[in-house]
Amino acid sequence: MPQVEDRISRRQVDKFAERRTQLAAAALQTLSELGYARTSLREIAQNSEFSHGVLHYYFRDKVELITHCVRQYKAECVKRYDEIVADAKTADELRKGFGAAMAGTLREDATLHRLWYDLRNQSLFEEAFRVDVLDIDQSLERMIWRIVSRYSELSGLPLAVGSGTAYGVFDGLFQQGLLRHLSGIEDAADELQASVELVLGQLAR
């Protein structure tokens, strides 16, 4: 049996990587259901079609598996959000589209977002995750900044805040919406949409 490092860089790289993403997807699902604290390797394996031993064939240890998960999440996440930037023609169209997209992903991908905030918090305690988490966070910040600055462009109004502030504001609104939504508050998504549109209008005057 070759070393993990060798296996990664061999001929059938694609097949090996394919299984890795397959297992990472099972891990992602388990994590989004149970959260980091209650997710075990055996539980992850049960959400796949393999036994628990195989995880150590494709990943060195648990940290590498979860790190890989986080990276995989990022790809899915940015792709998801980048569809939002869309091709709005007017400032108002962009503002409404942004609010609707936020509310939409809150409704549909609540458990995934819950996982993201969980992992981001874990990175505050476990340094192993920090680099990847910060990387994702920055890409999310850029994504928000693209929208906000484009809004300023379309509306002709100057922005009152910078990139980091804008991200903090909208991320806070979203997290608050997530908390309410998962607590069973019916109109949490609607309220988020209204808040987002309102605040975006306030940041460019």
The only residue of 17, 51, 83, 108 in contact with DNA, by rule CB under 7 A: 51
The only residue of 71, 109, 161, 190 in contact with a copy of itself, by rule CB under 8 A: 161
| Residue 53 binds to DNA (criterion: CB under 7 A) | yes
The only residue of 25, 29, 52, 161 in contact with DNA, by rule CB under 7 A: 52
- Report how far apart, in Å, the C-alpha atoms of 168 and of each of 13, 20, 21, 24, 175 are: 39, 33, 31, 29, 10
- CA dihedral of 48, 117, 109, 73, whole degrees rounded to 10: -50
User: Residue 138 binds which entry of a copy of itself, DNA, none, with Cβ cut-offs from 5 to 8 Å by kind?
Assistant: none
16 or 117: CB nearest DNA: 16
CA 72/CA 81 separation, integer angstroms: 14
| Residue 21 binds to DNA (criterion: CB under 7 A) | no
User: Residue 165 binds which entry of DNA, a copy of itself, none, with Cβ cut-offs from 5 to 8 Å by kind?
Assistant: a copy of itself
User: Residue 52 binds which entry of a copy of itself, DNA, none, with Cβ cut-offs from 5 to 8 Å by kind?
Assistant: DNA
Phi, psi of 173 (to 5 degrees): -60, -40
Nearest approach, Cβ of residue 78 and a copy of itself (Å): 18
58 or 70: CB nearest a copy of itself: 70
- Report how far apart, in Å, the C-alpha atoms of 148 and of each of 6, 84, 85, 151 are: 45, 12, 10, 5
CA 10/CA 4 separation, integer angstroms: 10
CA 123/CA 63 separation, integer angstroms: 12
Contacts of 30 (CB under 8 A, 6+ apart): 39, 43, 44, 47
Interface residue list for a copy of itself (CB under 8 A):
34-38, 114, 117-118, 120-122, 124-126, 130, 134, 137, 160-161, 164-165, 167-180, 182-183, 191, 195, 198-199, 202-203, 205
